[in-house]
Amino acid sequence: MIITHLGAESFKVSFGDTTLAFNPISKDSKLKQSRFGADIALVSVEHPDMNGVDQVTLGDKEPFIVRGPGEYEVRDILIRGYLTKSEYGGEELYNTAYLVTMEKMLILFLGAINTTELPKELKEVMEKVDILFVPIGGNGVLDAKKAYELAVTISPHVIIPMHFEGVGDKEAVKAFLKEDATTTNNHKPVNKLTLKNRDIESLQNEIMIVSG
């Protein structure tokens, strides 16, 4: 699995010939956009900074679009969406947290969530999370301290912080890392992160910085 951060909460996740786009940035956003073809596009919040499905439709790839709570199965990938809330941009918005099972890995993408209290339905089924994407930058989403508290409660193998480039607190990464005293990673940011199940099985709450 190859994970590429494209800014804000926008991630490209690829394995084999399948590509997922999480919260792609729209052409109507003031943030920098990226164009690529995706097979599946997941949108947590209906905001131009996170709903750019127009940007991940390219060539012969027109993505299956997931825009909210529910259960979906596409290309043997199981996606379950759970309703939460956000205050991104200063207004109360609906946010969807996505639990994605793919390539024998369980991914939890929290989107622009602003609370440490997860829906009961999500907590009942999330089991052992392999990779957690958590917002850390404030500005209507979790700040670094609350994000870390939630992350260690979930206790995934790998924690990937987001929402700190262009849309949140620039110092959020430093603040987030200060909350942690156990990780063995040197936290050198990478633009692309390659993860295999066997490589992360022995890790717990390991923070990895993927910077666009």
Q: Which residue has the higher pLDDT, 181 or 205?
A: 205
Give the residue-averaged pLDDT of 71-88: 96
- Would you call 162 helix, strand, or coil by DSSP? strand
pLDDT-derived band at 113 (thresholds 50, 70, 90) equals very high
Domains of the chain in start order, with CATH, are 2-207 (3.60.15.10)
For residue 185, the model assigns a pLDDT of 57
pTM, entire model: 0.95
Question: Lowest mean pLDDT: which of 26-35, 73-82, 148-157, 164-173?
Answer: 164-173
Mind spelling out the 3-state secondary structure of 45-92? CCCCCCCCHHHHCECCECCEEECCCEEEEECCEEEEEEEEEECHHHCC
Kindly state the percentage of the chain with pLDDT values over 90.
Answer: 84
| Predicted confidence (pLDDT) per residue in 182-196, tens digit | 655 567 889 899 999
| Predicted confidence (pLDDT) per residue in 163-179, tens digit | 998 787 779 999 999 99
